[in-house]
């Protein structure tokens, strides 16, 4: 199976591993940052610059904006990788496709115990109609320019991607965010199996182990290859594309890792410190877990 956007083995991985909640030592904020900086393969001068930037800009949030059609799972994705409770997200942001045309841009913040803040922004769903998209895209461009990273969620189980290609091309041409976009191919668990496999009674998702079946993995591979080729034609680099199922918590942590990679070092720390990736094992059958242990 093709690997979409493999994690890079560099200092960014050090940041993620160091600040992952299970590994955060019980120290004061300054001590944790100093310890982290000591692990980074950068010069002492660079470490000093990073420390100064972190201290000076502690109150400034990292700004992340999510785009895509209504109902593609943006809110589910956020809750699966950050310490975001459902009540933290404004109701309009979690509203289904029926409200897409009336929703305005809205933001909300989360903050960890060290004062690191992340601000999330969502806006009107795209793809409802060509006329509506032409009206909304300039508004999206204006909003995106005010954010550090853009994540664009696509329903990987849908083959209706022509309008998505058009919208992404327009946004990237206007913003220059090709190196600051993460495209998430969500809902891979809902990709349809081949007709022959369906007729033979094959299942798409192994509910006991909470993983794709062999038949579904083949379809995920075909579908993601097709989408990668289409997205590359509009300026999205292959290594900025991640396939996942936020609902099933499959490969969702890779989405967060990729967001971290796109940010400057001092902002990576703020995002990684708010990392709260939902445990995929919580959706695995208890008997299976007992066997594995």
pLDDT reported for residue 80: 85
- For β-strands 181-186 and 241-243, DSSP reports them as parallel
pLDDT reported for residue 154: 94
Task: Concatenate the DSSP letters of all residues of 34-67 into one string.
Answer: HHHHHHSSS-HHHHHHHHHHHHHTTTSPEEEEEE
Distance CA 15, CA 273 (A): 9
Distance CA 187, CA 204 (A): 12
pLDDT reported for residue 88: 64
pLDDT reported for residue 185: 95
pLDDT by residue, tens only, the chain of 293 residues: 444 543 333 443 444 344 333 333 333 445 556 666 676 777 888 878 877 777 666 678 899 999 988 888 888 888 888 866 666 666 655 544 444 444 689 898 888 776 778 899 998 888 878 888 899 999 999 999 999 999 999 999 988 889 899 999 999 999 999 999 999 999 999 999 888 878 777 788 888 888 899 899 999 999 999 999 999 999 999 999 999 999 999 998 889 889 888 987 778 877 777 778 888 888 888 877 777 66
How much is the pTM? 0.79
Q: Inter-axis angle of helices 74-81 and 252-261, to 10 degrees?
A: 80
pLDDT reported for residue 17: 44
Q: Which domains does the chain have, with CATH numbers?
A: 11-292 (3.40.50.300)
Cβ atoms 197, 215 nearer than 8 A: yes
Which residues are CB-contacts of 52 (< 8 A; sequence separation ≥ 6)? none
Distance CA 177, CA 171 (A): 8
Distance CA 226, CA 220 (A): 10
Taking phi first (over 0 means left), then psi (-120 to 50 degrees means alpha), and beta for anything else, what does residue 233 get? alpha
| Count of Cβ atoms closer than 10 Å to residue 179 Cβ | 11
Cβ atoms 208, 143 nearer than 8 A: no
- For β-strands 241-243 and 149-155, DSSP reports them as unpaired
């Amino acid at each position: 199976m093709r690997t979409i956007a493999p994690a890079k083995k560099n200092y960014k991985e050090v940041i993620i591993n160091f600040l992952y909640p299970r590994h955060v030592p019980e120290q004061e904020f300054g001590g944790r940052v100093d310890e982290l900086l000591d692990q980074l393969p950068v010069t002492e001068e660079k470490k000093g610059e990073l420390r100064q930037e972190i201290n000076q800009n502690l109150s400034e949030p990292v700004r992340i904006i999510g785009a895509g059609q209504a109902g593609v799972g943006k809110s589910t994705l956020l809750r699966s990788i950050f310490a975001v409770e459902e009540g933290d997200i404004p109701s309009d942001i979690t509203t289904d496709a029926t409200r897409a045309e009336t929703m305005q841009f809205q933001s909300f913040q989360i903050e960890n115990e060290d004062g690191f803040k992340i601000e999330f922004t969502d806006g009107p769903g795209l793809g409802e109609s060509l006329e509506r998209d032409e009206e909304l895209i300039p508004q999206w461009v204006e909003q995106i320019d005010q954010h550090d990273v853009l994540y664009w969620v696509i329903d990987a189980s849908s083959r209706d991607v022509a309008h998505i290609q058009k919208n992404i091309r327009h946004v990237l041409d206007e913003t220059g965010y090709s190196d600051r976009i993460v495209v998430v191919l969500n809902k891979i668990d809902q990709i349809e199996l081949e007709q022959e496999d369906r007729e033979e009674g094959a299942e798409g998702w192994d509910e006991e182990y909470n993983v794709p079946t062999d038949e579904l993995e083949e379809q995920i591979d075909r579908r993601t290859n097709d989408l990668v080729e289409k997205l590359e034609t509009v300026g999205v680099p292959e290594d900025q594309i991640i396939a996942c199922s936020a609902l099933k918590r499959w490969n969702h942590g890779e989405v967060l890792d990729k967001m971290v990679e796109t940010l400057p070092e001092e902002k990576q720390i703020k995002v990684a410190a708010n990392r709260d990736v939902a445990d995929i094992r919580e959706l695995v059958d208890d008997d299976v877990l007992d066997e594995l242990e």
